[in-house]
Amino acid sequence: MKNTHRNLSPKSKGIDFNLLVIFEAVFLHKSVTKTALILNVTPSAISQSLSKLRLYFSDPLFVREGNTLFATTVAENIYDRLKDGLSHVRQSLDYISDVSLQSSFIIHASPYLGVRLLPEICAEIENRDLNINISNNYNDTKENNIENILLQKKADIIFDVKPFYSFSTVSEILLIEDVIAVCAKNHPRLDSKLTKEDILAEKSIFSSIAHNGGLKVQSDIDDYFPNRKFIFSSNSIITNIAIAEKTSAISFIPKSFFDKFSDSFNIKMLELDITLEPVKIYMSYNKISLKNRNFNSLINIIKEHVFPSIVHPTQ
């Protein structure tokens, strides 16, 4: 009996937790082959692990009779001591993974997209009383591209005009935004329309958005309204319309922003002779994140309940 306790006493070096999981599986299923199938590893990997365990505990642990492995007295004592502990560790890891650490998520979105998208998302989370916390951050993706933000896990979800496709990520169209021209309501010369002649005579505000979607809109505007004269440049939509409100300059902004803030900023929409190509807003995230229950709930909220009519996957 003393010898048994001596074999079970801790050694100077630690033991790999995975070896204990394998020990438990072999003990319960009495077979290397069955254990390998259950743990999705090769039988040789199980045999190697058993060799390490036998060396560690200085005991054969299992004796083969036919196709069945029977536990030695030492193995039975080990299992009796470990079974409650292993169960507790699993429950704790499941809790940490599913609830504690993985209930807070970072959404990378510009100030405009934050205003545009996050209120509806947070309202639905509150309505469902879900254990989900959202943090919003934003760094200019000129320096922090979408690939790096996702791969380095600086954010869990990215809202941007640029998608990122890879074997490990998903990018879906979240919104399609119309672009319009605006100016101050009390503009001294412009009433409700904007022609080529008008814009050549007026000053303009340049939206310096360094993304494919923003650059495409700027290119379309420049093709139709060449040789514009700029008095101000910013990548902030709210700053641009604040300048337009106080000057006679013309700015191009998303229509949804106009619908929400036109009265607050005292601006008006100008009718164009052309229709500008809409800007696509994408939602990108890592595929592996879908294994988390709370993350799945968040994605479902975004796709099925907040923006159900405008979300369609592109990958």
3-state secondary structure the chain: CHHHHHHHCCCCCCCCHHHHHHHHHHHHHCCHHHHHHHHCCCHHHHHHHHHHHHHHHCCCCEEEECCEEEECHHHHHHHHHHHHHHHHHHHHHHHHHHHHHHHEEEEECCHHHHHHHHHHHHHHHHHHCCCCEEEEECCCCCCCCHHHHHHCCCCCEEEECCCCCCCCEEEEEEEEECEEEEEECCCCCCCCEECHHHHHHCEEEEECCCCHHHHHHHHHHHHHCCCCEEEEEECCHHHHHHHHHHCCCEEEEEHHHHHHHHHHHCEEEEEECCCCCCEEEEEEEEHHHHHCHHHHHHHHHHHHHHCCCCCEECC
Domain range 104-163+284-306, its CATH number among 3.40.50, 3.40.190, 1.10.3470, 1.10.530: 3.40.190
Tell me the per-residue pLDDT of 168-178, one tens digit each, with 9 for 90 and over: 889 999 888 89
Residue 126 pLDDT greater than 90, yes or no:
yes
Would the CATH topology of 104-163+284-306 be identical to that of 179-277? yes
Task: Please give the pLDDT value at position 308.
Answer: 64
CATH 3.40.190.10 assigned to 179-277: yes
CATH 3.40.50.620 assigned to 17-97: no
Residue position matching structure tokens 């600086």 = 154
Residue 144: φ, ψ to 5°: -120, 85
User: In whole angstroms, what is the distance from residue 246 CA to residue 149 CA?
Assistant: 37
Residue 251's DSSP bridge partners are 182
Q: How far is CA 178 from CA 148, 175, 258, 276, in A?
A: 29, 10, 10, 7
What single-letter amino acid sits at 199? I
> Computed over its alpha carbons, how large is the radius of gyration of the chain?
31
How many C-beta neighbours within 10 Å does residue 300 have? 12
Question: For the chain, which residues make up each domain, given as ranges?
Answer: 17-97, 104-163+284-306, 179-277
Residue 135 pLDDT greater than 80, yes or no:
yes
Average pLDDT, the chain: 82
User: In whole angstroms, what is the distance from residue 108 CA to residue 138 CA?
Assistant: 5
More confident residue, 231 or 17: 231
Residue 239 pLDDT greater than 90, yes or no:
yes
Residue position matching structure tokens 């947070």 = 122
Residue 309 pLDDT greater than 70, yes or no:
no
Do the beta carbons of residue 40 and residue 109 sit within 8 Å? no
Tell me the per-residue pLDDT of 65-105, one tens digit each, with 9 for 90 and over: 988 999 999 999 988 888 777 766 665 555 555 544 458 89
Q: How far is CA 79 from CA 73, 88, 104, 307, in A?
A: 10, 14, 37, 52
Average confidence (pLDDT) over 124-140 = 87
